[in-house]
Structure 1
Amino acid sequence: MAIRSASSWGAALAFLTGAAAVGVSTGCGESEKGAAVAPQAQGGCGDCGGEGGASEPPAGGAPGGSSSGGSGQVGAGDAGSPPALPPELTLDALSIFQTLEIPLMADGRSLAVGTRAVPLVAGKRALVRAFVELDARFEARPLLGVLDIRTGEREHSVLSERIISGPSAPDDLASTFVFEVAAEDLAADSAYRVRVLETDTTPLARFPETGFDDLGARALGPFRLVLVPYVANGFTPKTGEAELAALRRRLLALYPSRDVEISVSPPVTLSYPVGADDAGWDKALDTIYELREQAAAAPEVFYYGLLAPAESYDAYCPNSCLLGLAYIADERDESERAAIGVGVFPNGTGDGDAEDTAAHELGHALGRDHAPCGISDPSDTDPDWPADAAHKNALIGAYGYDFELQRLIKPRPNKDVMSYCSPAWVSEYTYAGIFDRLQAIHAESPAAAAVQVPQALRVARIDRSGRSHWLAPRLKPSPSLPGKVALLDSRERVVASTPARFTRLDHGRGGKVWLPERTLKAPGAVSVDLRPFGGGLLAL
């Protein structure tokens, strides 16, 4: 495919029209650089009033075919004249891609922002596809597509050159006009229009027919991540520039963030063995939450513990193994914004698993449960996962785009990154859920949190084997405790109940139970009953 930036557009117009054009036409008679632009195909500036670029052709259509707007409609002829022929080419649909496809227009009609399955993120690079329909009279030939983006008082244009020989197909990028939009050109107030021109700049089609349509991009802060390399069994994961860049690219590809900011803390040596059969993983998970709390991290900062418990991936995982662990975090629980997982091993192996494991485990820290593929226990999957055929067995349900490989991601066979299946991408359901969680986190007010009265809590930890023990007491402002837990006497009779909240591990049994300290002092109570959560009786 041929994709040019705005700086090439003026030169292309100059070459195609023979004019000494420089820059991009943004009005009548001047370019962005103030130089003369190519003359209009039909002469004059019939499309002024802020509508830069080529003018509309006179009645009768452009040479070689009729012109049309996005709807493909043309006006009727004079009374008594033959009816106007349909246009040879119409703009049938427009979509913008970041991680996933977001339809902008279909059948000549703009699609409301509120109907989108996923948000468009301001400041994140994008790709626009323009789909065309052709009349039987259309003859294959080179055409120009122009995407104009207006942000405030600034207009920026991107050119796409195509030899159009047939109608556009969703699976074929080359059958559509394709425009890459730089991150800095996509803001919350950006609007767009798309035009199709002959090579002499004669207009053929455009959408919208007049003015610009709002893109409806939504602002969101960067995803901030602190990596903590664990020294496990004497081995330390690699955290060089190449490993950090690969992780950043993968998270930026799958997450609805305009940027991913990664920092690396000093290594932490684990005093216990870590095995593929989950030995040591519960303790390592507790450690990452403790480190985040000790650092007094900002609410939007996530922590991720990296492990490489052997020299190579194959040495650690010859058959099956545990690759990561996290809690399914509650939105209001800042302390659970952390996870652990395998990194790149000392000999450089395991890099592909490291990046997708991080996206998966941090997804749990962002409140996402498992997508239903490769999960042995149905209770470990998201009960709200979409039930339609497009998402069956964790299918992503929509087209996506991989900017690194410059290729389409098809709805089949790609699976959601929150499943255990591959090839992995991200579904509309997960992407929108992560956006909502990040938006809520960035909206948290430090001033509001400062005036909330902290409550003393006891935290009961249930590990994956079912063993229970107390963690250090915590102070949390206005905790949400929607459940109930029984308090028992020495004969295991219920003497009272206490508010509680259970945060479960991402797979298997285990998790944390949060209990108000003041309610545990009921007369006669000697233990708390954690059996409903996979634990046992824990002495008070």
Structure 2
Amino acid sequence: MTTRSLQLSVSLLSTLALCLSACGDDSGASASGDAGSSADSSEASTDGASSVGSASDGAGTTEAPPAWVPAAGISITSVELNQGTGQDIARGGDWVEPAGRTSFVVQERDAVVRVHFTVPDDWSPREVEARLHLSYLDGRDETLTQALLVEASSEPASLDSTFTFTLRAEDGQAVPGAKFQVELYEPTGAGQGEPAVWRTPDDGPNWVGFEADPAQLKIMIVPIHYKGDGSDIVAEVTDEDLARIEDAFFETNPVQEVLLELHSPLVFAESLGGDIFSGLSPLLTAVAQLRAAERPADNVYYHALLDQGCQFTGCTEGGGLLGQAINIPGPSMGEANLRVASSMYYKPDGEITGLSLETMVHEHGHTQGLMHVFCPSGGSFGNDPSFPDPEGKIGAWGLGLRSRQLHEPGVEFDYMSYCRPAWLGPWTWNKTYERARSRRGPRT
């Protein structure tokens, strides 16, 4: 077997082992929203908020920087942490304890922290500075700052309207034991009235909630050399294609890294038409036999990519299949050979379609133990009766860490449904995290 390897790692943020009740196994951020300056916690940066003036006699003099005081009127409503699906880690002035959390927080994975707030009706637009204080078990302390012209209350659908920070794994900010506290400041005299909820947690820094267990995803990508029906088509997977595939899997899986390996093409000469009943079963059998012969680690998934020059099997314009998994395996070592899936790989004009990428994520979900999710117009079979939302909605704000695209909870559906647009919420996030950390295996 000849192989090429692509290892694209991205890390992000979180700290306590979460007590979760639903963990059974079975759009763009601005630069100002992400980038904050770093300073020692005892003297946070003011992002250049000093002023320069001139004396009455015309001689230029540098005035002292303004004194900073707790911002008046503005009130923090929540601090949200989002690595793919959002959850509150503080509400008002209170820290959210583990029992109140909704999702696992993955160590060494970037995490976006959003500070949501309200302002009164008589608010006078002005600049407010948020300071995110961080402390770590190794004794480090740092403060990230962001200045924002606040004109109205924040909106969850806009990254630009909230104070938005990124805890970066590469900077050591996404580690177990990290604590946080957020404060809002403004120059003396800028606002009127008394401070409201200007600091949270109000009783001092508390845990972000990063898990101690590592989690990674290993997938062998198997391009198919299709010779059925007189065809002779090789699914061409370029480095750029691999990067897009890795992005799709990384954004929708609670892991530190996605490790993709590109297999040499597998020749398949049987005919694969548009029959949804026989589907891709013959191909899946061949790929399962390949996996068994190569005997990879138990935590390696095999995913076949089939190019027939169209989106659906047999080029049936919607009557065929987009993809198929061989089964829905459990977490045991004895079910490793069932970690096999296939997807139609359509590249009109040389670029993978979004539907092909979504199909890969969906079919891979089956190999992680996920059943279908019901949605009103989906028509899927084998739906999981324990899914919490009766319409298959994701239930929490989603965020693509690479794309910086927001996903609305009341609009988007779980990616294991047949409805679009699709993302994931806490329920699927937690189930796949449990599977990823239980199947992490030895690092190689």
Tell me whether the two structures share a fold, i.e. TM-score over 0.5: yes
Q: What SS class does the counterpart of residue 392 from structure 1 fall into?
A: coil
Does residue 97 (structure 1) correspond to residue 82 (structure 2)? The answer is yes
Matches within 5 A, 1:7-406: 7=37, 13=46, 15-17=48-50, 62=69, 67=70, 87-135=72-120, 138-151=123-136, 152-184=138-170, 185-199=173-187, 205-218=198-211, 219-233=213-227, 234-278=232-276, 281-308=280-307, 310-313=308-311, 316-326=315-325, 327-332=327-332, 333-345=335-347, 348=350, 350-373=352-375, 374-376=377-379, 378=381, 380-386=382-388, 391-406=389-404
Change (3 A) 1:155 1:202: farther
1:94 and 1:103 in contact (8 A); partners too? yes
Q: Structure 1 residue 382: deviation in Å?
A: 0.9
1:398 and 1:428 in contact (8 A); partners too? yes
TM-score scaled by length of structure 2: 0.78
Q: What SS class does the counterpart of residue 145 from structure 1 fall into?
A: strand
Q: Structure 1 residue 270: deviation in Å?
A: 0.7
**Any idea what the Cα deviations from partners look like across 1:188-215, whole Å, max 9, x if unmatched?**
2221111211157999622223542111
Matches within 5 A, 1:389-468: 391-442=389-440
**Any idea what the Cα deviations from partners look like across 1:314-362, whole Å, max 9, x if unmatched?**
7824232112111111221222122111124475355212211111111
2:33 and 2:160 in contact (8 A); partners too? no
Q: For structure 2, which runs of at least 5 residues remain unmatched after alignment?
A: 1-29, 53-62
Q: What SS class does the counterpart of residue 123 from structure 1 fall into?
A: coil
1:102 and 1:120 in contact (8 A); partners too? no
Higher mean C-alpha displacement, 144-153 vs 200-209: 200-209
For residues 319 and 189 of structure 2, what CA distance do their matches in structure 1 show? 60
Q: What SS class does the counterpart of residue 371 from structure 1 fall into?
A: coil
**Any idea what the Cα deviations from partners look like across 1:105-146, whole Å, max 9, x if unmatched?**
113211112332211111111211112233456422011112
Change (3 A) 1:14 1:190: closer
Q: What SS class does the counterpart of residue 356 from structure 1 fall into?
A: helix
What is the aligned-residue identity percentage? 22
1:24 corresponds in structure 2 to none
1:144 and 1:198 in contact (8 A); partners too? yes
Q: Structure 1 residue 436: deviation in Å?
A: 1.2
1:149 and 1:192 in contact (8 A); partners too? yes
Q: Which amino acid aligns with 1:320?
A: G
1:237 and 1:346 in contact (8 A); partners too? no
Q: What SS class does the counterpart of residue 393 from structure 1 fall into?
A: coil
Q: What SS class does the counterpart of residue 15 from structure 1 fall into?
A: coil
Q: State which structure, 1 or 2, has the greater radius of gyration over its C-alpha atoms.
A: 1
Q: Structure 1 residue 148: deviation in Å?
A: 2.3
Q: Which amino acid aligns with 1:230?
A: I
Higher RCO (Cα < 8 Å, 6 or more apart) = 2
For residues 213 and 135 of structure 1, what CA distance do their matches in structure 2 show? 28
Q: What SS class does the counterpart of residue 146 from structure 1 fall into?
A: strand
Q: Structure 1 residue 399: deviation in Å?
A: 0.9
Matches within 5 A, 1:481-520: none
For residues 243 and 317 of structure 1, what CA distance do their matches in structure 2 show? 25
Q: What SS class does the counterpart of residue 234 from structure 2 fall into?
A: coil
For residues 330 and 200 of structure 2, what CA distance do their matches in structure 1 show? 43
Q: What SS class does the counterpart of residue 128 from structure 2 fall into?
A: strand
Q: Structure 1 residue 253: deviation in Å?
A: 0.9
Q: What SS class does the counterpart of residue 242 from structure 1 fall into?
A: helix
TM-score scaled by length of structure 1: 0.65
Q: Structure 1 residue 417: deviation in Å?
A: 0.6
1:292 and 1:303 in contact (8 A); partners too? yes
2:126 and 2:190 in contact (8 A); partners too? no
Higher mean C-alpha displacement, 417-426 vs 7-16: 7-16
Q: What SS class does the counterpart of residue 245 from structure 1 fall into?
A: helix
Change (3 A) 1:202 1:261: farther
Change (3 A) 1:130 1:114: same
1:17 and 1:200 in contact (8 A); partners too? no
Change (3 A) 1:137 1:271: closer
Q: Which amino acid aligns with 1:93?
A: S
Q: CA RMSD in A?
A: 3.0
For residues 188 and 260 of structure 2, what CA distance do their matches in structure 1 show? 48
Higher mean C-alpha displacement, 284-293 vs 155-164: 155-164
Q: For structure 1, which runs of at least 5 residues remain unmatched after alignment?
A: 20-37, 43-53, 55-61, 69-86, 447-540
For residues 335 and 297 of structure 1, what CA distance do their matches in structure 2 show? 10
For residues 244 and 201 of structure 1, what CA distance do their matches in structure 2 show? 54
Change (3 A) 1:16 1:371: same
Q: What SS class does the counterpart of residue 284 from structure 2 fall into?
A: helix
For residues 273 and 391 of structure 2, what CA distance do their matches in structure 1 show? 30
For residues 445 and 14 of structure 1, what CA distance do their matches in structure 2 show? 44
1:3 corresponds in structure 2 to 33
Change (3 A) 1:104 1:224: same
For residues 188 and 310 of structure 2, what CA distance do their matches in structure 1 show? 60
